[in-house]
Amino acid sequence: MTRTDAVASLRYRVYWEDTDAGGVVYHARYLHFFERARSDWLRGLGFPQQTLKTQARRVFAVTRMDTRFLAPARLEDELAVSVHVERLRAVSVMFRQTAHRVADGELLATAEVHAACLNSDTFKPARPPDDMMAAIERYQQQQAI
């Protein structure tokens, strides 16, 4: 994970499995890239999702996503996918994410993602662990600098 202007930027390569018959990234695959970036971001903060589920009894579920597709990514492109915490609430986080082509910096897609923290046993809203909230708040403060 690299940080540019205090925003996590993670890199992913486009493979055949990500494309349609024309070698262009299939629109739904952008959701995969955005999900991977959020998962890798959490891991980078020290909170792997499997550990959250088994030890803290917490999972995150996307409750809403607004995605804009601006330009096509193609087979073997390298993508830089960002994670920006827009808003942090007691049991939810709103992210803004972007996907850029590394070679030329072109903006390919954007997403506004709303995720709720849930108890992994009941699937009812639950506050994330305090150390996780503190880590996200520190990250969010770094973004503001």
Active site residue 20: yes
- The CA distance from 119 to 100, in Å, is 34
Q: Where are the domains of the chain?
A: 2-144
pLDDT 10s digit of each residue in the chain, 145 long?
Answer: 444 334 588 999 999 999 999 999 999 999 999 999 999 999 999 999 999 999 999 999 999 999 999 999 999 999 999 999 999 999 999 999 999 999 999 999 999 999 999 999 999 999 999 999 999 988 888 877 6
In angstroms, the first-to-last Cα distance of the chain is: 19
Catalytic residue among 5, 20, 121, 131: 20
Prediction pTM value? 0.91
CATH class for the domain made up of 2-144: alpha beta
